[in-house]
Homo-oligomer: A and B are copies of this chain.
Amino acid sequence: MKVEVLRLGHRIIRDQRVTTHVGLVARAFGANSMIFCGQRDEGVIETINKLVGLWGGGFEARYGGKNWKKIIRDWKEKKGAKVIHLTMYGEPLFEVVNSLRRVFNESDFLVVMGGEKVPKRLYKMADFNVSITNQPHSEIAALAVFLDHLFQGEELKKEFENVKIKVIPSSDKKLIKKKEKT
């Protein structure tokens, strides 16, 4: 099934780097797409989509407007997706991950991350509120670890299609292979 990541409360300039990291992590760890709400920010979309053009895969980032409740309702009602809210206040990942994997066999996931102020309504709208530790850290880290556990590390072996550039893994240097222009 598919995973879309929904990032709420984006603030232009201030959140640009964090939201971009969220998008790149979503792509690298096997999610299919990212929507962000809050302020419109073409910079984030351009950075991510430009990178997809070079490094491959079919990942897409887009701006979802300000009405995040509508996005969540649409995903639940029309698409039958389950909504997973990543929050340090949720149930520990290691307690719920097996149930989540079973649900994921049947339903797409919309993985939601709040911004600076998380609206209370979100906790009720989510099908699962999941914590990646109950300590304060980073939404970027939470997303990566969540996807890594959901996919049981298999996403770390993922190969992307339509690449113009790729890394040759090395024990002691930086090696890149560029596809020749045809």
Interface on A for B, CB 8 Å cutoff? 17-18, 21, 24-25, 27-29, 51, 55, 87-94, 118, 120, 123-124, 126, 128-129, 131-138, 140-145, 148-149, 153, 155-158, 160, 166-167, 169-176
Contacts and interface: CB of A to CB of B under 8 A. Distances in A.
A132 B156 contact: yes
B55 A138 contact: no
Nearest to A133: B28
Contact of A148 (B118, B134, B148, B160): B148
Contacts of A94: 153, 156-157
B169 A91 contact: yes
Given A89-B167, A167-B134, A172 B124 contact: yes
Contacts of A171: 90-91, 128-129
B24 A138 contact: yes
Given A129-B171, A136-B55, A169-B131, A141 B25 contact: yes
A55 B135 contact: yes
25 contacts: A17-B17, A21-B138, A24-B136, A25-B138, A25-B141, A28-B141, A29-B133, A29-B137, A29-B141, A55-B135, A89-B169, A89-B175, A89-B176, A92-B156, A94-B153, A94-B156, A123-B174, A128-B171, A133-B156, A134-B169, A135-B167, A138-B144, A144-B144, A145-B145, A149-B153
